[in-house]
């Protein structure tokens, strides 16, 4: 390239570079407005990721149609999950479904619109509260780069949006997003009221168990356990007892706990990954669709054995994690709840027969809130790993999922994405367990609980 040509490109690119740099600085200085513009873009993306590109095809994520079917069947024929039959979801999971279903009688499109607006409102309000919490110490400080935004604590709100973006349609089309936002409210309330935190974590558990795992470290960390933790949890759980008496079978509200023991390994689960990879070399086709629970499972003598022992391994792993939480009970309360809760959630994922993509929504409240605390620098690696776990989850479902189950020429690509994601999950679990172990090791013997 001639010198004159180089000079032309320099004269052309420099103004463009300076313009982009000014726009970047302007966005950082107007971090609040930029956040809400990004929030709107993300919400629009989440909606359209669940709309079929070709209207002759089913939507990529179909749980909203299932929720609508349950509510529609209940209003038309009086057959309700939990009241008249067992359910795969805890009782409070049906509250947002009812809210969306009551105003959308026999109209799936309207049901989806109401669902998305409800989700958008709950998350928007939660992130606004989180932003205001950070504002108390950082409102007057100027930020000229995203690095500054991170150091000031606002990176927590931006991280939540990027995590939603990484998860894609799976995030917005499952009940887990409603449980996760309750978990976020619980973390936000932690500075002012352990009672409110206990109530939110309990409500989250009765919506989707994974998010409620944060309740356990809260119990160990709190000094006034009965007053601040147990009593609010009992109040929130009281309607469940009343519901049990109204059901045809008094155990239907707890039926969601019974669905794990008899099922096989789901193909996305961490424990199924070695068998999925080995099938690339053996050429076996052992993926079977389970019509009862609407999922794909891998069937083989080895997988059957793993599925049988995994129930016991899960109990043992959970017990060990709870011991580590108990060991660190005198550490800083916020650190213990963040590390301990995330360790329990990841333990429930890693040692589970199920590997449904929506499970990783439960990680978001912990990861986002951690970036708003004074310990944000210690959580950088954990949050980066969590983001890539979410990103590969969207790549798997709905991205390459059809390649995994159809054994077509791109089958190798699907298995590769699945293996990478599950390796990242294991790496994240190891990092969190290591941090929890260090947290217990650093606690002086004569230290006291922070509250």
pLDDT of 318-330, one tens digit each?
A: 999 999 999 999 9
Q: What is the mean pLDDT of residues 205-216?
A: 94
C-alpha to C-alpha distance for 326 and 316, rounded to whole angstroms: 15
pLDDT value of residue 8? 60
Averaged pLDDT score across all residues of the chain: 90
State mean pLDDT over 191-216.
95
What CA–CA distances, in Å, run from 75 to 79, 253, 260, 405? 8, 19, 29, 36
Dist. CA 263–CA 419, nearest whole Å = 22
For residue 307, pLDDT over 80 is answered with yes
334-379 pLDDT, tens digit each: 999 999 999 999 999 999 998 899 999 999 999 999 999 999 999 9
Kindly state the DSSP code that residue 10 receives in the 8-state scheme: H
User: Above 70 in pLDDT, residue 53?
Assistant: no
Q: Which domain holds residue 381?
A: 3-441
Q: What is the pLDDT at residue 448?
A: 44
User: Does residue 232 lie in a domain region?
Assistant: yes
- For the chain, what is the domain count? 1
Closest CA to 135 of 240, 32, 10: 32
In sequence order, the β-bridge partners of residue 295 are 290
Entry pTM: 0.93
Of 40-44, 227-231, 283-287, 397-401, minimum mean pLDDT range = 283-287
Quote the pLDDT of residue 255: 86
pLDDT tens for residues 107-120?
999 999 999 999 99
Percent of the chain clearing pLDDT 70 (strictly above): 92
> Over the Cα atoms of the chain, what is R_g?
23
Can you tell me the mean pLDDT for 12-34?
Answer: 89
In this model, does residue 446 exceed pLDDT 60? no
Tell me how far CA of residue 132 lies from CA of 31, 172, 207, 300, in angstroms.
13, 24, 26, 53
Distances, alpha carbon 164 to alpha carbons 197, 207, 362, in Å: 23, 19, 12
Largest CA distance in the chain: 85
Interval 420-435 mean pLDDT: 98
Residue 392 lies in a domain: yes
Q: Give yes or no for residue 70 having a pLDDT over 70.
A: yes
Residue tagged 């980066």 (tokens): 384
pLDDT of 254 > 50? The answer is yes
Question: 141 near 32, Cβ under 8 Å?
Answer: no
Residue 448 lies in a domain: no
Give the model's pLDDT for residue 2: 58
Position 79 scores a pLDDT of 92
Flag whether 56 is in a domain. Answer: yes
Angle between helices 411-441 and 333-350 (to 10 degrees): 150
pLDDT attached to residue 177: 96
DSSP 59-127: -S--HHHHHHHHHHHHHHH---BTTTB--SS-GGGHHHHHHHHHTSTT-HHHHHHHHHHHHHHHHHHHH
Residue 267 within any structural domain of the chain = yes
CB neighbour burial string for 148-163, b if at least 16 within 10 angstroms, e if fewer: bbbebbbbbbbbbbbb
How many CA atoms lie less than 13 Å away from 240 in the CB half-sphere?
20
Order across the sheet with 265-266: list the strands. Answer: 265-266, 295-298, 287-290
Give the DSSP per-residue string, 297-325: EE-SHHHHHHHHHHHHHHHHHHHHHHHHH
Is the per-residue pLDDT at 55 higher than 60?
A: no
Alpha helical stretches, state H, 351-397:
364-370, 380-394
Q: What is the pLDDT of residue 447?
A: 47
Cα separation, 114 vs 64, in Å, equals: 11
Query: 3-state DSSP call for residue 169?
Result: helix
Q: What are the pLDDT digits (tens) for 150-203?
A: 999 999 999 999 999 999 999 999 999 999 999 999 999 999 999 999 999 999
Average of per-residue pLDDT across 62-66: 85
Contact partners, residue 156, CB within 8 Å, separation at least 6: 130, 134, 368, 369, 370, 371, 372, 376
- Binning pLDDT at 50, 70 and 90, where does residue 58 land? low
Question: What's residue 451's pLDDT?
Answer: 39
Residue 446 lies in a domain: no
End-to-end CA distance of the chain, in Å? 69
Instruction: Please indicate, yes or no, if residue 418 is contained in any of the structural domains.
Output: yes
Asked whether 390 and 176 are in contact (CB, 8 A), the reply is no
380-400 pLDDT tens trace: 999 999 999 999 999 998 889
Confidence at residue 368, expressed as pLDDT on a 0 to 100 scale: 98
| Distance from the Cα of residue 112 to its chain's centroid | 20
CA 219 to chain centre: 22
Which pLDDT score, from 0 to 100, does residue 284 have? 75
Domain for residue 450, yes or no? no
**What is the Cα–Cα distance from 126 to 186, expressed in whole angstroms?**
10
Provide mean pLDDT across the span 275-298: 83
pLDDT of residue 450: 40
Task: Identify which of 63-67, 398-402, 436-440 has the greatest average pLDDT.
Answer: 436-440
Look-up of token digits 């990783």: 360
The answer to whether 157 touches 35, Cβ cutoff 8 Å, is yes
Q: How far is CA 396 from CA 140, 265, 387, in A?
A: 42, 17, 14
Whether 54 shows a pLDDT value over 70: the answer reads no
pLDDT at 422 over 80: yes
């Amino acid at each position: 390239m001639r010198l004159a040509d180089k000079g032309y490109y320099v004269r052309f690119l420099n103004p463009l570079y300076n313009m982009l740099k000014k726009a970047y600085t302007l966005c950082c200085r107007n971090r609040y407005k930029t956040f809400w513009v990004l929030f709107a873009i993300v919400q629009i993306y989440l909606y359209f990721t669940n709309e079929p590109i070709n209207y002759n095809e089913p939507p990529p994520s179909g749980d909203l149609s299932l929720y609508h079917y349950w509510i529609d069947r209940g209003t038309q024929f009086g057959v309700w999950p939990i009241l008249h039959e067992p359910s795969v979801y805890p009782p409070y999971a049906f509250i947002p479904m009812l809210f969306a279903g009551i105003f959308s009688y026999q109209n799936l499109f309207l049901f989806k619109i109401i669902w998305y607006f409800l989700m958008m409102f709950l998350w928007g309000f939660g992130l606004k509260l989180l932003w205001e919490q950070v504002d108390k110490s950082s409102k007057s400080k100027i930020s000229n780069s995203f690095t500054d935004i991170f150091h000031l604590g606002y990176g927590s709100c931006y991280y939540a949006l990027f995590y939603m973006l990484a998860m894609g349609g799976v995030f917005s089309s499952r009940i887990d997003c409603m449980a996760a936002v309750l978990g976020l409210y619980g973390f936000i309330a932690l500075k002012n009221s352990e009672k409110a935190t206990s109530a939110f974590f309990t409500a989250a558990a009765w919506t989707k168990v994974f998010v409620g795992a944060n309740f356990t470290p809260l119990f160990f960390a709190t000094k006034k356990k009965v007053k601040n933790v147990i009593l609010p949890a009992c109040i929130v759980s009281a309607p469940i007892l009343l519901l049990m008496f109204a059901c045809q079978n008094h155990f239907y509200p707890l039926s969601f706990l019974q669905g794990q023991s008899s099922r096989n390994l789901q193909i996305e689960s961490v424990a199924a990954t070695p068998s999925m990879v080995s099938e690339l070399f053996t050429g076996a086709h052992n993926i079977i669709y389970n019509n009862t629970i609407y999922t794909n499972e891998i069937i083989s003598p080895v997988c059957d054995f793993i599925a049988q022992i995994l129930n016991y391994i899960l109990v043992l792993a959970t017990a060990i994690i709870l011991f580590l939480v108990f060991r660190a009970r005198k550490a800083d309360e916020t650190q213990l709840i963040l590390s301990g809760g995330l360790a329990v959630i990841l333990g429930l994922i890693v040692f589970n027969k199920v590997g449904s993509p929506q499970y990783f929504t439960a990680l978001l409240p912990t990861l986002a809130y951690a970036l708003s605390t004074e310990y944000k620098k210690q959580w950088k690696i954990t949050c980066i790993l969590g983001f890539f776990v979410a990103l590969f989850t969207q790549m798997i479902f709905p991205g390459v999922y059809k390649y995994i189950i159809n054994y077509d020429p791109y089958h190798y690509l699907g298995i590769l994405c699945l293996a990478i994601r599950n390796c990242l999950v294991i790496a994240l679990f190891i990092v969190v367990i290591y941090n929890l172990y260090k947290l217990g090791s650093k606690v002086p013997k004569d230290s006291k609980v922070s509250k």
